[in-house]
């Protein structure tokens, strides 16, 4: 009796243009549910790769390091979903997605608490000089030079938060508990928020000791924190950035720090990552981290579950878990 060959399974195709940490986890977890088309593994130009799979790709998986432009979208007429591992969406052409009927799902609020913790941690570090004092001790300077200089307290600081979304609100909640006076600037006034609202960042900086940047990077926010804003913050002012590096005019920030025109900075993001201005390396009033505010073990696991859930929902014709309006 002739043995019939098993019918090959056809899994939904998910396009991935560039690798990422989250994708590595997802690929292992869903190798039996989706067929991941990894563009970087094919020795042909990206446009040729896209045209080859134009009619079969219904979903795309990406991170913030993948630019999803109109030129990427237009050769993919069957594409109906983009799932991105980031909360920010500056790397995706949203107007073109809407025009083409492509849904987008993002990380939503998965990172909000962890990023807020990092923002507060950076601020405390800058004010109390924890990292600088650690270097002082490790360098054997304590017995030679004596007690480390006085630092500054957190309580009572006037903190301006730029971007009062889910991350900004978590930052406000934490700093309010420390006894800080909170005010904010956002795209519009929040109806149920009691903190004072400023229509522009210059006025906010003028009335604050600290600026915490939590806003998205857009054409409007690019270099929004310029020399005028930094000078308005003043010589005792501190900037904390856990948003995107390009929200600040980095060259002006460096100059203000070097000249002592502001008191310090806590930076998790930079304008030309992973390149960092070398002038910052010598400054004890600057605390830096390598764009890792979003990731803890817990948030990474939560993100993987959310990304997988969005893909499963889409291919099961169910509502997305974290759709972008």
**Could you count the other beta carbons within 10 Å of the beta carbon of residue 293?**
23
Cα–Cα distance, 229 to 243 (Å, whole number): 17
User: Which residues, including other chains, have CB under 8 Å from residue 239's CB and lie 6 or more apart?
Assistant: 210, 211, 213, 225, 230, 233, 248, 253, 262, 264, 265, 266, 267
Of 27, 90, 291, 312, the active-site residue reads 291
252 catalytic, yes or no?
A: no
Identify whether 273 is a catalytic site residue: yes
Of 273, 279, 292, 298, which is the active-site residue? 273
CB 154 within 8 A of CB 121: no
| 180, 156 contact by CB (below 8 A) | yes
- Check 244, 250, 252, 271 and give the catalytic one: 244
- List residues bridging with 92 in a β-sheet: 68
Q: What dihedral do alpha carbons 232, 238, 244, 249 form, nearest 10°?
A: 40
Tokens of 59: 């979903």
Catalytic residues: 244, 273, 291
């Amino acid at each position: 009796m002739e043995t019939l060959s098993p019918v090959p399974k056809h899994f939904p195709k998910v396009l991935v243009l560039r690798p990422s940490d989250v994708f590595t986890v997802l690929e292992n977890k869903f190798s039996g549910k989706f067929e991941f088309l990894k563009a970087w593994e094919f020795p042909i130009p990206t446009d040729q790769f896209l045209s080859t799979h134009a009619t079969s790709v219904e979903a795309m998986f990406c991170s913030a390091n993948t630019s999803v432009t109109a030129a990427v979208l237009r050769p993919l007429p069957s594409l109906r979903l983009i799932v991105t591992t980031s909360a920010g969406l500056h790397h995706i052409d949203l107007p073109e997605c809407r025009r083409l009927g492509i849904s987008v799902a993002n990380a939503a609020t998965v990172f909000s608490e962890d990023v807020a913790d990092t923002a507060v941690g950076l601020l405390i570090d800058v004010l109390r000089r924890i990292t600088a004092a650690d270097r002082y001790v490790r360098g054997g300077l304590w017995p030679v030079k004596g007690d480390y200089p006085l630092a500054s307290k957190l309580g009572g600081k006037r903190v301006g938060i730029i971007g009062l979304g889910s991350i900004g609100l978590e930052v406000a909640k934490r700093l309010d508990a420390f006894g800080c006076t909170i005010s904010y600037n956002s795209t519009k006034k929040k109806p149920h928020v009691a903190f004072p609202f400023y229509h522009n960042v210059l006025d906010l900086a003028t009335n604050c000791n600290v600026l915490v940047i939590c806003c998205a990077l857009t054409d409007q926010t690019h270099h929004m924190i310029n020399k005028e804003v930094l000078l308005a913050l003043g010589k005792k002012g501190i900037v904390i950035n856990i948003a995107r590096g390009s929200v600040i005019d980095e060259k002006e920030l460096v100059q203000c720090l070097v000249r002592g025109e502001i008191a310090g900075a806590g930076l998790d993001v930079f304008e030309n990552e992973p390149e960092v201005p070398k002038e910052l390396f010598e400054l004890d009033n600057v605390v830096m981290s390598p764009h890792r505010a979003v990731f803890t073990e817990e948030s990474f696991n939560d993100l993987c579950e959310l990304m997988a859930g969005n893909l499963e929902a889409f291919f099961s014709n169910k509502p997305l878990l974290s759709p972008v309006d």
